[in-house]
């Protein structure tokens, strides 16, 4: 069909004359360019309006507010440039189409224009990069002294989160000690007493309004801790610990109300292609009150106890059981 249409167009151009046929095609294409410009800009606005509610919404961390502001400024700048360039592109195609008595103007070079469209974008991008570096340094700087410390370790294809016990300090670890079968998934060194009250969970629990510092690593390949609702991300590199810190603004329960989604959950995703199971490498993030966090921590068994069940203290019998035993002996 395409071949036949092409042949038919060729025969028409021969019958009408190549020049007249070309001018007619130019007029049609110029008109279609203007139509495409109008419909295209309407389509851009319509898509944005349609999908706006599906976006992530307000940042769930204090640090993410600056990132959102930077994204907004970048969007406005690029939107202005996009609209101007698209209007010029399609309008020029219509306005300066081939016509009788008009010849094309050869415009090979202009130093002034070259400087303008090189210097202005360079200045704008430099400003954006400077603000981006500022936000980056903010989240990767030394965390406040009151920040809770949590270690996040990636492995194909899961996340392991280690929490310190009452001492607030994470124990020493060594990759040579990693042994899943022996309940030591992150390689804790049991000779270090600081490890005895640490525990590992598949979920990341943090306290609303409290600074939290993530110590990030990997057990195999390069992963990436992605925190989309908090507008943060950081590579998890084998052998090279990385860090970031942030302050959650809303609990998970609050976000369920704000989003109108009773099944809402914050997500920790892997943002670096890490293998065939990359798509499934996710973990839930629970943002809760201090009381809820303390109750959850109290219910978690230490990793040391799981790795050394024989060393775990025996449970005391219940009062009713002790009484029953005493009566039986009597």
Q: Which CATH number is 279's domain given?
A: 2.60.40.420
Q: Are residues 165 and 291 in the same domain?
A: yes
Q: Are residues 73 and 154 in the same domain?
A: no
* Cα–Cα distance for residue pair 117/90, rounded to 1 Å: 20
Residue matched to tokens 């202009």: 110
- Cα 327 → chain centroid: 63
Residue 323: inside a domain, yes or no? no
Alpha-carbon torsion, ordered 234, 235, 239, 241, to 10 deg: 0
DSSP 3-state of 213: strand
Per-residue pLDDT reduced to its tens digit, 198-210: 999 999 999 999 9
Q: Are residues 71 and 182 in the same domain?
A: no
Predicted confidence at residue 234, as pLDDT, reads: 95
Residue 3: inside a domain, yes or no? no
Per-residue pLDDT reduced to its tens digit, 172-221: 999 999 999 999 999 999 999 999 999 999 999 999 999 999 999 999 99
Q: Are residues 79 and 153 in the same domain?
A: no
Q: Of 197, 191, 193, which Cα lies nearest the Cα of 165?
A: 197
Average pLDDT, the chain: 87
Contact present, 87 and 37 (Cβ < 8 Å): yes
Q: Are residues 209 and 297 in the same domain?
A: yes
Q: Are residues 84 and 169 in the same domain?
A: no
- Residue ranges making up the domain that contains 36: 18-97
Q: Are residues 79 and 168 in the same domain?
A: no
Q: Are residues 76 and 172 in the same domain?
A: no
Q: Of 176, 161, 146, which Cα lies nearest the Cα of 245?
A: 146
* Cα–Cα distance for residue pair 107/296, rounded to 1 Å: 71
First to last CA, the chain: 103
Q: Are residues 38 and 167 in the same domain?
A: no
Residue 208: inside a domain, yes or no? yes
Q: Are residues 45 and 172 in the same domain?
A: no
% of the chain exceeding 90 in pLDDT: 60
Q: How many domains does the chain have?
A: 2
Q: Are residues 152 and 291 in the same domain?
A: yes
Tell me the pTM.
0.75
Alpha-carbon dihedral sign for residues 290, 301, 149, 251: negative
Q: Cβ neighbours of residue 194 under 8 Å, at least 6 residues apart?
A: 164, 167, 169, 170, 171, 172
């Amino acid at each position: 069909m395409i071949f036949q249409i092409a042949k038919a167009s060729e025969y028409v151009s021969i019958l009408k004359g190549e020049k007249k046929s070309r001018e007619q095609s130019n007029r049609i294409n110029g008109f279609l360019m203007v139509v495409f410009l109008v419909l295209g800009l309407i389509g851009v606005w319509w898509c944005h309006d349609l999908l706006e509610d599906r976006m992530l919404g307000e940042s769930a961390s204090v640090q993410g507010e600056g990132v959102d502001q930077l994204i907004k400024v970048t969007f406005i700048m690029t939107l202005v440039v996009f609209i101007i360039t698209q209007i010029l592109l399609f309008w020029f195609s219509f306005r300066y189409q081939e016509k009788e008595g008009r010849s094309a103007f050869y415009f090979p070079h202009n130093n002034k224009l070259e400087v303008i469209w090189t210097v202005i974008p360079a200045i704008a991008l430099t400003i954006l990069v400077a603000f981006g570096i500022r936000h980056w340094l903010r989240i990767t700087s030394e965390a406040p002294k009151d920040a809770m410390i949590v270690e996040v370790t990636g492995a194909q294809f899961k996340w392991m989160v280690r929490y310190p016990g009452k001492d607030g300090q994470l124990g020493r670890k060594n990759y040579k000690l990693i042994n899943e079968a022996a309940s030591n998934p992150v390689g804790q060194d049991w000779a270090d007493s600081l490890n005895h009250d640490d525990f590992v969970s598949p979920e990341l629990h943090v306290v609303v309004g409290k600074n939290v510092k993530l110590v990030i690593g990997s057990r195999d390949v390069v992963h990436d801790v992605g925190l989309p609702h908090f507008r943060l991300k950081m590579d998890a590199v084998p052998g090279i610990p990385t860090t970031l810190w942030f302050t959650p603004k809303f609990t998970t329960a609050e976000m369920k109300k704000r989003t109108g989604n009773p099944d809402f959950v914050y997500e920790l995703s892997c943002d670096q292609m890490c293998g065939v199971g990359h798509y499934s490498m996710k973990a839930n993030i629970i943002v809760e009150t201090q009381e809820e966090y303390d109750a959850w921590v109290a219910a978690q068994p230490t990793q040391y106890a799981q790795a050394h069940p024989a060393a775990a203290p025996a449970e005391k019998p219940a009062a009713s059981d002790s009484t029953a035993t005493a009566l039986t002996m009597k």
